[in-house]
Amino acid sequence: MPDLTSEHTPRRCIAVLGGSFDPVHNGHVALAKYFVTLLVPDELRVIPTGNPWQKNGLEAGPADRVEMVRRAFDRQTVPVIIDQQEIQRPTATYTIDTLQALRAELGPQASIIFLMGADQLQHLNTWQGWDRLFSYAHLGVASRPGFAMDASRVPAEVTREFTRRAATPEQIRQSAHGLTYLAENLAVDISATEIRAALHNAKKPDALVPAAVLDYIEQHHLYKN
Ligand SMILES: Nc1ncnc2c1ncn2[C@@H]1O[C@H](COP(=O)(O)OP(=O)(O)OP(=O)(O)O)[C@@H](O)[C@H]1O
Ligand SMILES: O=C(O)c1ccc[n+]([C@@H]2O[C@H](COP(=O)([O-])O)[C@@H](O)[C@H]2O)c1
């Protein structure tokens, strides 16, 4: 039987943003928007972590983080799915498991790109099965103030993989997995850590989080001492 998918059906492209989102903020929205503009994916999949094993616990519960994410991403130019698979998985959250599940769900043809900020790039080689991530997805990384993306801070083995797999947005859209893209001109100096600190000090971080998220935080008395 001829492979009609590759010849006649455009390949679907799904951009995936995983995160603790404790809380979601304008840096996350800017990261997603950057890659949505670059790739014009068919879907933005946002996946709040369940048990982020490299963090010392989360402050807000999963239901609150999901609702904040829903509010933050309610006005995108592409369809958005808030995917709760990591929250529903009882074990430690490993991206490799998530990407395997997404590949099984979306099929071998789909172009899947997992997005992250430069802070994660700096220790990507500590992720569970990091070198197998490329078997399931492309990786898209954006710069972030305070986190260099050059050889001074990125481990040599990570730089090597990113260099040999570097591709254009068009190449990423036209293949399923295994390529990389470094966006070096995003510069949003916001972190969830500073937002939690502001809220604990009764400050209103209204320039750092979407208004609908701040409303939710206030209504539900999140991040209070
Ligand atoms: N300001 C930002 N610019 C670019 N990428 C970002 C930014 N903030 C977060 N990211 C990326 O978004 C993803 C989820 O981040 P996360 O939810 O841990 O936010 P955070 O601000 O880093 O949180 P925390 O301060 O609690 O560690 C990660 O890949 C991270 O690198
Ligand atoms: O798979 C791993 O081992 C792994 C280690 C650290 C982070 N991640 C993923 O990276 C994304 C951003 O993580 P964080 O801690 O910055 O919110 C989120 O989807 C995490 O599950 C994944």
What domains, with CATH codes, occur in the chain? 9-219 (3.40.50.620)
Q: Which ligand is nearest to the CA of 144?
A: 1
Q: Cβ(26) to ligand 2 under 6 A? A: no
* Confidence at residue 88, expressed as pLDDT on a 0 to 100 scale: 98
| DSSP run (H or E) holding 17 | strand 13-19
CA of 177 to the centre of ligand 1 (A): 23
Mutating to test ligand 2, I would choose from 83, 127, 128, 133 the residue with most ligand atoms within 8 A of its C-beta, which is 127
CA of 128 to the centre of ligand 2 (A): 10
Q: Can you give the pLDDT of all 225 residues of the chain as single tens digits?
A: 444 454 556 899 999 999 999 999 999 999 999 999 999 999 999 999 999 999 999 999 999 999 999 999 998 999 999 999 999 999 999 999 999 999 999 999 999 999 999 999 999 999 999 999 999 999 999 999 999 999 999 999 999 999 999 999 999 999 999 999 999 999 999 999 999 999 999 999 999 999 999 999 999 999 997
Ligand 2 atom having least distance to the Cα of 17: 19
Residue nearest to atom 2 of ligand 1 (CA): 27
- Strand-pairing partners, residue 43, are 14
Q: Which ligand is nearest to the CA of 119?
A: 1
* Confidence at residue 9, expressed as pLDDT on a 0 to 100 scale: 67
Q: Cβ(122) to ligand 2 under 6 A? A: no
**Residue environment code for 2-41, b if the CB has 16+ CB neighbours within 10 A, otherwise e:** eeeeeeeeeebbbbbbbbbbbbbbbbbbbbbbbbbebbeb
**Residue environment code for 144-166, b if the CB has 16+ CB neighbours within 10 A, otherwise e:** beeeebeeeebeeebeebbeeee
CA of 46 to the centre of ligand 2 (A): 13
Residue type, 90: P
Ligand 1 atom having least distance to the Cα of 119: 31
CA distance 211 to 108: 39
CA of 137 to the centre of ligand 1 (A): 20
CA distances from residue 11 to 16, 78, 135 in whole angstroms, order as listed: 16, 16, 17
Question: Model pTM?
Answer: 0.97
Ligand 2 atom having least distance to the Cα of 22: 17
Complex ipTM over 0.90 = yes
Q: Which ligand is nearest to the CA of 127?
A: 2
Ligand 2 atom having least distance to the Cα of 95: 1
User: Among all chains, which residue has been given the structure tokens 């994916």?
Assistant: 41
